[in-house]
Structure 1
């Protein structure tokens, strides 16, 4: 749950997000297990030692990431961010737009007055404008719905919750070993959602054709990706929705 930030006299209206440290036990187990394998292996097979070293390295990386300084506070005037790669306090009016995408990332499109030099590594999920990744909600304990409520209250019309998909289409994909590439699936889904929300019949036909071409060519598979079964079902539903929307437009025009 969110908790009021009452530490600096801001009137108790700010809300502070808290780092999700649920990966710590797994990281510790990886490090300890890898060290034990190394100790037992001794002069054993080289492959076993390499695997153990790899497990230790992964565990240490996750452990370091989980223990890095982190702070994110949302308030009526703006947000304060302290995380790897981004440190600063920004006013809401310094962003032309803010959005929460399907991957759980809060991104902000730079506006007038935003300090130069911020890493523009993301895009607005609705219109594709270059944006700054402000926060990854998968790294905080609070739920996306809680954060969305705070952003809607404080950022107002600048904020868009871009997670909502067409009625009846489940876009909440499970991430696991060997699934469809997250970036490619997000790109196709966002393309379809934008066409459904703002496009006309030609845009919807183009979005459906793009999905069909990607599927015919074979969606790329990644070591960690979206559930293939869930993605296939969602793409089927999106294609159907794009077809129905286009048909409805033609009937209305007739």
Structure 2
């Protein structure tokens, strides 16, 4: 199964680069602030544009993974991984085994047992649906793969959410507070505490999570909060649910 990179941000990046260049071109002497803003837009959009145009290849097959993307390039056999998993943020991670090529950065952890792992792919960055990718990994990986997107309440209470940090994303303190509140409710709270934690997350998202110049990846946070809300809902007891008259 060959995956294809999503081009969702490409048109916006092109527009931003063009607009920024136009503003720079017409800026007059003394318009320092406008020039700085335009330059910042061009640099950020240019980075997105360059990333979208870089070579990309990701193939899941009976022998292993054929990968070509920034920071990771090569063919990796299934036996070179002790385990693979898709975590709660829809990232595919692999725990290296003996024979795994040296020099690859360890940037993640297995979502179940927290062993050091390599981030192989962010499923939000490809056009194929996560369930399609999961099906291919389940078929070919020889029992090494775990779909950890849906954890039990107890597992959610102790899991570590390793969100990617970027130049612009959700405010880290607010996200950490919401995640910590939910995990505390799952680990130690009763039904009332779990409902309150879920309501707090829903209210914060309805109002709009604060965006910071340096923050957590928004897609990963959204996926994690969705999963936490589902876990908080699933722990309700039958007596807490409304029974039709």
Work out whether the TM-score is over 0.5: yes
Please list every run of 5 or more consecutive structure 1 residues that lacks an aligned counterpart in the other structure: 1-14, 170-176, 196-203, 245-254
Q: Secondary structure at the match of 2:112?
A: coil
Give the alignment partner of residue 162 of structure 1, picking from 148, 155, 170. Answer: 148
Q: In the alignment, what sits opposite 2:86?
A: 100
Whether 1:121 aligns to 2:107 is: yes
Flag structure 2 segments of 5+ consecutive residues without an equivalent.
157-167, 238-245
Contact 2:89 2:221 in 1 (8 A): no
Q: 2:38 aligns with which of 46, 52, 56?
A: 52
1:126-178 per-residue CA deviation (whole Å, 9 max, x = no partner) reads: 121110011111221111111111111111421011112559x9xxxxxxx86
Cα displacement string for residues 19-62 of structure 1 (whole angstroms, at most 9, x for unaligned residues): 21222111110110001111222224211110000011011101
**1:40 equivalenced with 2:23 (yes/no):** no
Name the CA shift for 1:226/1:136 in 2 (closer, same or farther; >3 Å). closer
2:188 alignment partner in structure 1 = 205
Runs of 4 or more off by more than 6 Å in structure 1? 189-192, 226-234
CA 72–31 in structure 1, closer or farther in 2 if over 3 Å, else same: same
Matched, 1:66 2:17: no
TM-score norm. by structure 2 comes to: 0.69
1:113 is paired with a residue whose SS is coil
- The aligned length equals 209
- C-alpha RMSD of the superposition: 4.1
Q: Whole-Å Cα distance in 1 between the matches of residues 103 and 92 of structure 2?
A: 18
CA distance in 2, matches of 1:87, 1:225: 26
Query: Distance between the aligned counterparts of 1:187 and 1:87, measured in 2?
Result: 34
Q: Conserved in 1, the CA contact under 8 Å of 2:5 and 2:125?
A: yes
